Amino acid sequence: MYEEIGRNRRASWLLIAGFIVFIVFLGYVFGELTYLGYGGMVIALIIALSMTFTSYFYGDRIVLSMSGARAAEKTEFPYLYNTVEGLSIAAGLPMPKLYVIDNAAPNAFATGRDPEHAAIAVTTGLLDKMDRLELEGVIAHEMSHVADYDIRVATLAAVLVGTVVLLSGWLRRSFFWGGARRSRGRQGLGPILVVIGLLVAVLAPIAAQMLRLALSRRREYLADAQGAMLTRYPPGLAGALRKLAAEQGTLAVNEATAHLYIVSPLKAGDVAERTSTLFSTHPAIEERIKRLDEMSLGEAPGPSPLGT
Amino acid sequence: MFTSWVVFIALVVVLVLFIAGFYNRLVALRNRVDNAWSQIDVQLKRRYDLIPNLVETVKGYAAHEKDVFEKVTEARSRAVAAGGVAEQAAAENQLTQTLRSLFAVVENYPELKANQNFLLLQEELSGTESKIAYARQFYNDSVLKYHTAIQSFPGNIFAGMFGFGERQYFEAEPESRGPVKVEF
């Protein structure tokens, strides 16, 4: 678990560094193409730093409001509160803030920057369709994301990758009207730079998306295994995943946040989402269930890997 | 001469730092065990507070089931009075069993099972029981980690030197491994 936290801390820093370098480079190219010159770079640096700051400290709120979640009151959802409280005790973590999304499609996600600033959101559909053991399985999966700092990487990735995609789009468009104005522009690096810039603007969003997806797939297996160890009852989560696989409902989510959820909230008919490919946010549910079933067979609930 | 002194002092400094680090780790582990114990305590108290309310609510519908109420109340006061890990664990298991017989009685009263107040208490109680189970699990995990640290080399040397004693596991009754469920 310590290695996992260390890896996630490094991944967070790399994500931030890569983001800043990329945005500043975009700003440089943009400046060269227009009359801004180095001003483009300065503006880009300011944007990059403020975006990083925002996504680190307010990423959870951005993600929660994007998903249409509202704060859950204990009086309204005593069952959910009791379940989460129990599992936070088991994991030795502080109690996360709880949110609900009013949607019949069962799903859940966790966000935040560390266990002290974590939030778990579940849909009302999840609460309706799961029994207590299954709900515990789902919450334990989310608590494992919290314990391992997966939430930090995933939340940063959601906001920063979203920004990269957006800005690359702007830059691509700016080549059309900026390019003409610059055709008589300065000599030297100009033309080569334009080509590189164009390439980056086209390839970066694809690379960023793939990075976001790759980041999340491996984590899902790990959170499944850790969650199962936390409840000491793998069939709970396995049963929940079976129900989640059977439900075809989709959520109105921004694609940038899809990797946060316990199962992909995107259209179920989507081929990419049904099979494990480079472009899916989650491993195939069948494979996850299989691994949990294998855990239940070799049942020897030793000490939990959590709370090391 | 001078270099050998430097080497010697450096070694001593490294050794002291190492011992200090180890000592701090043991303190942290022991504190976590104590903290985990107080977590169990918080949840147990919550359960003691819920039981009288529950008994009163059930009494309103099934006043003549005196036997069961007495047993629950008695088991509760014994659990409240219990001290020490082993005694507490035994008393808690006793209390869990009397509660089960109380809920078995409830089975015969459909109006009671529809009572909003009763349902709320029932949810609170089963929620608290699963929290107790998880707190116990976390406590035992913490004890295991602490024991591993003070029993394996070189921890065993420091533990003896600085007086880090062993802690007791909180034994659950055999059939209630995993989350405790109030059955209906």
DSSP of B10-57: HHHHHHHHHHHHHHHHHHHHHHHHHHHHHHHHHHHHHHHHHHHHHHHH
pLDDT in tens, A201-243: 778 778 777 777 777 777 888 889 899 888 888 888 999 988 8
Residue A280 forms part of a structural domain: yes
Residue B10 forms part of a structural domain: no
Residue B4 forms part of a structural domain: no
Listed range (A41-50, A181-190, A208-217, B54-63) with the worst mean pLDDT: A181-190
Residue A163 forms part of a structural domain: yes
Domain count, chain B: 1
| pLDDT band for position B124 (cuts 50, 70, 90) | confident
CA distance A160 to A267: 23
Compare all CA atoms of chain A with the CA of B33 and give the residue at the minimum distance: A92
| Residue A117 labeled ligand binder | no
Q: CB contact, 8 Å: B122 with chain A?
A: no
Nearest CB among A78, A90, A136 relative to B123 is that of: A78
Residue B86 forms part of a structural domain: yes
Which residue carries 């002092």 as its tokens?
A: B9
| pLDDT over 90 (residue B172) | no
What is the average pLDDT score of chain A? 80
Compare all CA atoms of chain B with the CA of A75 and give the residue at the minimum distance: B120
Domain count, chain A: 1
Listed range (A4-18, A267-281, B125-139) with the worst mean pLDDT: A267-281
Residue B140 forms part of a structural domain: yes
Indicate yes or no: CB of A307 within 8 angstroms of CB of B131. no
What pLDDT, on the 0 to 100 scale, is given for residue A211?
74
| pLDDT band for position A307 (cuts 50, 70, 90) | very low
| pLDDT over 60 (residue B176) | no
CA distance B66 to chain A (A): 30
Nearest CB among A90, A132, A133 relative to B137 is that of: A90
| pLDDT over 80 (residue A67) | yes
Contacts of A83 in chain B (CB under 8 A): 127, 130
Residue B55 forms part of a structural domain: yes
Residues 229 through 268 of chain A touching chain B, CB cutoff 8 Å? 231-233
Range of the domain at B151: 35-176
| pLDDT over 90 (residue A256) | no
ipTM: 0.73
Distances (CA, A) of A248 to A40, A124, A128, A267, B8: 46, 15, 15, 8, 70
| pLDDT over 70 (residue B183) | no
What is the reported pTM?
0.79
Compare all CA atoms of chain A with the CA of B29 and give the residue at the minimum distance: A308
Residue B143 forms part of a structural domain: yes
Nearest CB among B120, B145, B178 relative to A232 is that of: B178
Q: CB contact, 8 Å: A290 with chain B?
A: no
What pLDDT, on the 0 to 100 scale, is given for residue A301?
46
Of A143, A78, A83, A80, whose CA–CA distance to A112 is shortest?
A: A143
Residue B24 forms part of a structural domain: no
Query: Catalytic: which of A142, A286, A287, A294?
Result: A142
| pLDDT band for position A200 (cuts 50, 70, 90) | confident
| pLDDT over 80 (residue B145) | yes
State which H helix or E strand residue A255 sits in: none
| pLDDT over 60 (residue B20) | yes
Indicate yes or no: CB of B127 within 8 angstroms of CB of A83. yes
Query: Which value, in Å, is the radius of gyration of the alpha carbons in chain A?
Result: 22
Q: Which of A79, A80, A82 to mutate to test the interface with B (most CBs of B within 10 A)?
A: A82
Whether A142 is catalytic is yes
Contacts of A90 in chain B (CB under 8 A): 134-135, 137-138
Residue A308 forms part of a structural domain: no
State which H helix or E strand residue A101 sits in: strand A97-101
Of A78, A144, A91, A86, whose CA–CA distance to B180 is shortest?
A: A86
Indicate yes or no: CB of A82 within 8 angstroms of CB of B181. no
Beta bridge partners of A273: none
Greatest alpha-carbon span in chain A: 74
The upper half-sphere exposure of residue B38, i.e. CA atoms within 13 Å in the direction of its Cβ, equals 5
What pLDDT, on the 0 to 100 scale, is given for residue A177?
60
Residue A306 forms part of a structural domain: no
Residue B117 forms part of a structural domain: yes
| pLDDT band for position A126 (cuts 50, 70, 90) | very high
Listed range (A20-24, B10-14, B64-68, B141-145) with the worst mean pLDDT: B64-68
Contacts of A82 in chain B (CB under 8 A): 123-124, 126-128, 130-131
Nearest CB among B124, B134, B145 relative to A89 is that of: B134
CA distance B160 to A147: 33
Range of the domain at A169: 2-297
Indicate yes or no: CB of A89 within 8 angstroms of CB of B39. yes
pLDDT in tens, A23-66: 888 888 778 777 777 888 888 899 889 989 999 999 999 999 88
Of residues A224 and A180, more confidence is placed in: A224
What pLDDT, on the 0 to 100 scale, is given for residue A303?
43
Indicate yes or no: CB of B127 within 8 angstroms of CB of A85. yes
CA distance A42 to A36: 10
Q: CB contact, 8 Å: A34 with chain B?
A: no
| pLDDT band for position A144 (cuts 50, 70, 90) | very high
Q: What is the CATH number of the domain that holds B84?
A: 1.20.1440.20
What pLDDT, on the 0 to 100 scale, is given for residue A109?
93
Alpha helices per DSSP H over chain B: 2-59, 66-81, 85-106, 110-114, 116-151, 155-162
